[in-house]
């Protein structure tokens, strides 16, 4: 079993839709949870990160962490064509050298 | 603030040849990472440096891959000899010590024929 599981998609939605991206994980020691966005032929860029359980909102993006279910989500409201990218979840264990464990990424296309 | 620089951006070689990639992290970032990202997969950590010391190289195929960061700044990753399955994007990232945000470079896309 992989440490982090993520549905690879691809996911295609119309402009303005609400998008839900999800990851599950197996290691209960993970404490930091991150979402990266990766445009084609570019390196990943950090979108949001949260510590432990709860919600965090930044503009049109909301990250949720449910540690009891080992499940994290990223919601995108009012999706735009510029949101078309691959979204990677990542997580790590504090004080262990900062190694990140990445999901496989979900490819999202927002159709104008 | 300048980002993480990598070169070359693209490289095509034949199997059994050798290849080297270069990374210049963000100024002041002590921690440097090399990742391998195979098409359709998430990045996989190959090696992590803090300054010029290796923190984690448990997933580095040491029979063919090597990496160094001699002066604690720039780093090179070498593959010798390359195999077909080494075709991937090689990403370099850097961070401040203890910071959870890693900044990625644009990557080097390697194709092994």
Helix (H) or strand (E) holding A50: strand A45-51
- Whether residue B106 lies within 8 A of chain A, CB to CB, comes out as yes
Q: Report CA-CA distances (Å) from A13 to A57, A81, B93.
A: 21, 10, 31
Task: Specify whether the CB–CB gap between B44 and B56 falls below 8 A.
Answer: no
Q: Are B101 and A49 in contact (CB < 8 Å)?
A: yes
Checking if the pLDDT of A112 tops 80, the result is yes
- CA-nearest residue to B40 within chain A is A104
Of residues A13, A22, A34, the one with CA closest to residue A78:
A13
Please write the tens of the pLDDT for every residue from B45-87.
999 999 989 998 999 999 999 999 988 899 999 999 999 999 9
Burial (Cβ within 10 Å: 0-12, 13-18, ≥19) of residue B92: buried
Please write the tens of the pLDDT for every residue from A49-90.
898 788 999 999 999 999 999 999 999 999 999 999 999 999
Alpha carbon of B69: minimum distance to chain A alpha carbons (Å): 17
- Whether residue B60 lies within 8 A of chain A, CB to CB, comes out as no
Task: Specify whether the CB–CB gap between B47 and B112 falls below 8 A.
Answer: no
Strands B44-50 and B31-37: antiparallel
Q: Calculate mean pLDDT across residues B93-106.
A: 87
Q: Are B100 and A41 in contact (CB < 8 Å)?
A: no
- Whether residue B107 lies within 8 A of chain A, CB to CB, comes out as yes
Name the β-bridge partners of B35: B45, B91
Tokens read off for A15 = 């402009």
Chain A residues within 8 A of B109 when measuring between CB atoms: 41
Checking if the pLDDT of B21 tops 80, the result is yes
């Amino acid at each position: 079993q992989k440490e982090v599981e993520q549905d690879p998609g691809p996911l295609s939605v119309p402009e303005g839709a609400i998008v839900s991206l999800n990851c599950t994980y197996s290691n209960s020691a993970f404490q930091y949870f991150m979402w990266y966005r990766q445009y084609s032929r570019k390196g990943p860029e950090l979108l949001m990160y949260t510590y432990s359980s709860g919600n965090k909102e930044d503009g049109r993006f909301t990250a949720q962490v449910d540690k009891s279910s080992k499940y994290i989500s990223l919601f995108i409201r009012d999706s735009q064509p510029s949101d078309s990218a691959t979204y990677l979840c990542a997580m790590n264990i504090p004080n262990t050298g900062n190694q990140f464990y990445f999901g496989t990424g979900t490819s999202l296309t927002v159709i104008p | 603030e300048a980002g993480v620089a990598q070169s070359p951006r693209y490289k095509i070689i034949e199997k059994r040849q050798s290849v080297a990639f270069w990374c210049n992290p963000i100024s002041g970032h002590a921690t440097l990472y090399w990742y391998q990202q195979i098409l359709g997969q998430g990045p996989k950590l190959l090696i992590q440096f803090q300054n010029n010391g290796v923190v984690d190289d448990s997933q580095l195929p040491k029979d063919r891959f090597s990496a160094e960061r001699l002066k604690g700044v720039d780093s090179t990753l070498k593959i010798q000899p390359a195999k077909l399955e080494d075709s991937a994007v090689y990403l370099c990232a850097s961070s401040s010590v203890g910071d959870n945000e890693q900044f990625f470079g644009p990557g080097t896309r390697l194709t092994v024929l």
